[in-house]
Amino acid sequence: MNQSQLFIPTLKETPSDAQMPSHKLMLRAGLVRQIAAGVFSWLPYGYIMLKRVQAVINEEMNAIGGQEFLLPALNPKDIWEQTNRVEAMGDVMFHIKNRDNLVLAPTHEEIIAYHASQSIKSYKDLPQIWYQIQNKFRNEPRPKSGVMRGRQFIMKDSYSLDSNTEGLDESYDKHYSAYKKIFDRLGINYFVVGASSGAMGGNKSQEFMVENEFGEDTCAVNYESGYAANIEVAVSDIIPNQRVEEELEFEEFETPNSKTIEELSKNHNINIENCAKSVVYIIDSKPVLILMRGTDILNETKLQSIFETNNTRPATEEEIENFFSAKPGSIGPVNVDEKVKIYADLLIKDTNDLVSGANKTGYHFKNIDLKRDCNIEEYYDFRTVLEGEANIVDGKPLKIVNAIELGHIFKLGTKYSEALGAKILDENGKEKPIVMGSYGIGVERALACIIEQNYDDNGLKWGKNFAPFHVHILGLSYNKSENVKEHCDKLKENLEANALSVLLDDRKERPGFKFKDADLLGIPLQITVGDRGLENNEIEIKLRINNEKNKISFDDAVDEVIKYYNN
């Protein structure tokens, strides 16, 4: 390919809207252009790379028996109503104004289940893995970071259909290993975390994560031990408070200047781990007191999965004063109105030496015995793990990192097949719903992650297993020097004869301009052909990965390139 014929509008300056390195570089290197918030056009150079990613995904999906579909983005709303997801999706789903019975599909469980319901009738038809690479539409409240979070984006979504949960386990494992192969081949550093299934339904799910400061998820990881979990479900190895032998009556003491746990601990010389804090939440409109170690932070996602609802919020100061007749800072688990249910964190289970608010402004109790003095409904893990805490595998410290969710695999179960009547007859002639799994990869996200992990100040750095072209030939004075032109054309021809793809910079540009553009485009090997070198029959070969330059004989060029790519 001659560069003069390829539309790659590179930018010298970074558009001011971009924050994330991959976003800046995608714009600068002419991969994408933004059309609206969360909506992008893929330009030729970017689309080449996007198709590379898709090809890897296709190969690995086909390798586990996946069959590629192309499902419509326009969906009958009726199908979505059968699973109650028009309501569940709410504002996330795009609706069509002048054709009210259609919606834009944000995902395709329904359509898959619909096709299965029509055509899959027997356990003998299963298992099936159906997938597609196609546009998804989600009315994101706030698109951001370029293609990382868009309103229209390309997703590889696959769905497994099995006759029982054992089959689902197998299909799930196949996807797990296929995903690992895909991300390995793409050269992405990632980790896998157990995740919360959220409103998707189903029981098991894992996310493929990429550590990145701009990531929207938070994870607790220790790479050496292999422990990694979304902060929403992460746990750590912490010694719980123990019951003390001596059983003391709880007693009230005055704490006028201790509104926070730190003040309480300091002013009254109390071990901070014995100071319990009372967090009041309104869960499904009912007040709940969560008692936990004073320094711990309540994890709202854990709270929501424990109570199986998304309808949670912190109580207002006014509500707290209503329920406890005391100001926040002085409330506690003793003598609580019976309308308020009390739950406590596992770390303080059954302890008897806690200090907590007395439900009387400016007073606390000490020697609280949770078994004796309080009416604890149940103990759960409510806390958010913190940086440096011991991981549960080998006790080494956890790191808290931001991460990008690249892929997500779910064991769905029968929610969608039941709703849409996708049923089979099993070996005994008994009717059963198909057991489904659902698996996604953000294709553009994957490309952005590759860029996030492979760039420098001058531009992109594609890995050699994953490059838009194998070689970038920079023909200096290509348009002026017949000698340069001949050598460039010959080299290109020889490389292409060896199945190596070539981008030849044949443009009427000055050398410096071509060098800068080449670094920006990031093709792994740059070969500079100029009159100066050709005097000695030499060309210069540069590895973009480390920017090392070497002069070699023109005649060795093809062999050098082959050697590089075979290595």
Partner RNA sequence: CGGGGUGUGGCGCAGUCCGGUUAGCGCACUUGGUUUGGGACCAAGGGGCCGCAGGUUCAAAUCCUGCCACCCCGACCA
For residues 180 to 209, the per-residue mask of contacts with RNA, x marking binding by CB under 7 A and - elsewhere, is ------------------xxxx--------
Of 323, 389, 528, 557, the one binding RNA (CB under 7 A) is: 528
The position carrying tokens 């670094």 is 519
Question: Is 477 one of the binding residues for RNA (CB under 7 A)?
Answer: yes
Which contiguous run of DSSP H or E holds residue 160?
Answer: strand 152-162
User: Given its phi and psi angles, is residue 477 left (phi above 0), alpha (psi -120 to 50 degrees) or beta?
Assistant: left
Choice between 425 and 534, CB closer to RNA: 534
For the chain, how are helix, strand and coil distributed in percent, rounded to 5? 30, 30, 40
Alpha-carbon gap, residue 1 to 111, rounded angstroms: 41
Question: Is 138 one of the binding residues for RNA (CB under 7 A)?
Answer: yes
Q: Which two tokens stand for residue 528?
A: 């500079």
Q: Closest distance between RNA and the C-beta of residue 512, in Å?
A: 3
Choice between 276 and 484, CB closer to RNA: 484
CB–CB of 382/374 below 8 Å?
A: no
Choice between 390 and 412, CB closer to RNA: 412
Q: Which of 302, 315, 307, 306 is nearest to 385 (CA)?
A: 302
Choice between 138 and 492, CB closer to RNA: 138
Alpha-carbon gap, residue 361 to 326, rounded angstroms: 5
Of 30, 66, 127, 143, the one binding RNA (CB under 7 A) is: 143
Cα–Cα distances in angstroms (integers) from residue 350 to residues 111, 248, 302, 346, 356, in the given order? 51, 14, 21, 9, 15
For residues 421 to 450, the per-residue mask of contacts with RNA, x marking binding by CB under 7 A and - elsewhere, is -----------------x-x----------
Question: Is 515 one of the binding residues for RNA (CB under 7 A)?
Answer: yes
Q: Closest distance between RNA and the C-beta of residue 32, in Å?
A: 12
- 165-170: long-range contacts, CB 8 A cutoff, minimum separation 24: 165/435, 167/126, 167/127, 167/435, 168/411, 168/413, 168/435, 168/436, 168/437, 169/411, 170/127
Question: Is 531 one of the binding residues for RNA (CB under 7 A)?
Answer: yes
Question: Is 216 one of the binding residues for RNA (CB under 7 A)?
Answer: yes
Segment contacting RNA (CB under 7 A): 248-256, 328-336, 337-345, 531-539? 531-539
Alpha-carbon gap, residue 134 to 105, rounded angstroms: 11
Question: Is 549 one of the binding residues for RNA (CB under 7 A)?
Answer: yes
Question: Is 13 one of the binding residues for RNA (CB under 7 A)?
Answer: yes
Question: Is 174 one of the binding residues for RNA (CB under 7 A)?
Answer: no
**SS3 at position 7:** coil
Q: Which two tokens stand for residue 498?
A: 């060896």
Choice between 22 and 330, CB closer to RNA: 22
Binding site for RNA (CB under 7 A): 10-17, 19, 28, 34, 36-38, 88-89, 92, 106-107, 136, 138, 140-145, 149, 155, 157, 198-201, 216, 310, 410, 438, 440, 458, 476-477, 480, 509-513, 515-520, 528-534, 540, 542, 549
